Chains A and B, each alone.
Chain A
């Protein structure tokens, strides 16, 4: 009962933070006006209406989807690998996406095989990032079939990340400054600039990934005991692992494709949530992590807009600045991180 209460509180906080996020921005809009626009009332100020409906609302929804999605990925990965330091980055999914984008932006300029208009279109970047994620996901699954040890898989993910960053460095070395700048901007991550269409596709893919995850939750609980115990409880280990890899691949891939690489959310949120709901039961953690992740992502986004100024900080930097100390604090406080 206590856990239901926590989740209820999280939902309430999520609503409040969403409203806060909508009402903050470089253009000052009265809180009451924000509410009235959201209720569907026409505003006297059409530009406010435009800002809320076509700029801030898609951004808020993106933040919710990104925060929730990455946190779920982190939760599932931490259980699957039985490692508290696992996250969506561990499988090298976002490195794969980065490699795809780097090959497009940086590699494209070197080989100049593609026309500039395609090169710089947003969909090309989304396509490249998705392809990169999917390819890495397939590579990881191929290794997962041969290697039974989850720990080894984790290290392969890390190695893949190093390999990717090396290739990106080489590409960057030979690229003109303008392309390099475009790549760096992508790697900063961005929740804004998504049209309603793009938000729709992102949400749909993430929703499908979340559905797959829900199907795995019962077996994930058994997996808390380790693979041998889980098998003895009738869990189809291989099938479950593949499903989790596909689900996290879809979610993390789509998010990285549309919003760029966003660090620490996937790693830190499950640990923060475990401080609140004192259980490892995935049927409790899953909703808690979804709401908690959304809340934290919205907060990071509000901070990145530097309320009261025209500047916007890169979202990836904000999540890292807050995420890294949180992880260190957790480590110091609990001596060891539990999953």
Chain B
């Protein structure tokens, strides 16, 4: 039987210093072709978890398996074929054209001259089409809006053609419409390409509607459940202080608190 689990962690501790882990006992099972959101309040460790899963940050303790093999046994080059990233606030060269930027996703597969083969070009064209940025191909990254740039960054990860894509707040700085648009795009990608996307987000309302699984980081504890289970178990009720917003179970969304403040 084929193993359906892509990312598996067991009693994982993450953080910047071994004496002060940001979160402990993280046991996750992320399946292939699923859309998984990491949610939590500011500073709860969403980005830290993503960095640990991508190898940017070494894990402090516990087991971490990728495709059934221990993460630490992978070389950089092997990982490049398994995990691609979409990061925020990256200080990258804005002088790159959109197509150059996306083509760099093929970097692990090209020869020492970095030449893209015909097969590479087909994959790149497919990635560009999938996120719908054909009309921007020749523009410089400098000339793009935030929403356009986000799509281009997603296309680059698609061009890398890895079974897993990790994204850090792919919807930050976007307006409400474009937030929904990007998340919808992610959903389509997981369904059409069988890739797994794990992303950190503040868009809890949208994530509850679109994601297969939610990883909730709250009070140094990490739980992974489906949106239905999360609502049933009332796990979201205490996420934020209740003076301003409350979780409304009937609409499965956070709303402004109607209670009079004392």
Contacts and interface: CB of A to CB of B under 8 A. Distances in A.
Q: Do A and B interact with each other, yes or no?
A: yes
Interface of A: 79, 82, 215, 217-218, 221-222, 224-226, 228-229, 231-236, 274, 278-281, 283, 338-339
B104 A233 contact: yes
Given A231-B76, A232-B84, A233-B104, A225 B110 contact: no
B111 to A, nearest CB: 8
B94 to A, nearest CB: 5
B83 interface: yes
B68 interface: no
A79 B142 CA distance: 16
Interface string B94-118: 1111001100110110101110000
A232 B85 contact: yes
A217 B114 contact: yes
B138 to A, nearest CB: 10
Contact of B110 (A218, A226, A229, A232): A218
Contact of A222 (B87, B104, B142): B104
B93 A228 contact: no
A218 B76 contact: no
Contacts of A232: 54-56, 79-80, 83-85, 160
Contacts, number: 87
B94 A222 contact: no
B96 A280 contact: yes
A283 B78 CA distance: 25
Contact of A218 (B77, B113, B160): B113
A324 B26 CA distance: 55
Contacts of B94: 338
16 contacts: A215-B112, A221-B107, A221-B114, A222-B107, A224-B92, A224-B93, A225-B92, A226-B87, A228-B85, A231-B55, A231-B76, A232-B56, A232-B80, A233-B105, A233-B107, A279-B100
Nearest to A225: B92
B95 A274 contact: yes
B135 interface: no
A229 B51 CA distance: 12
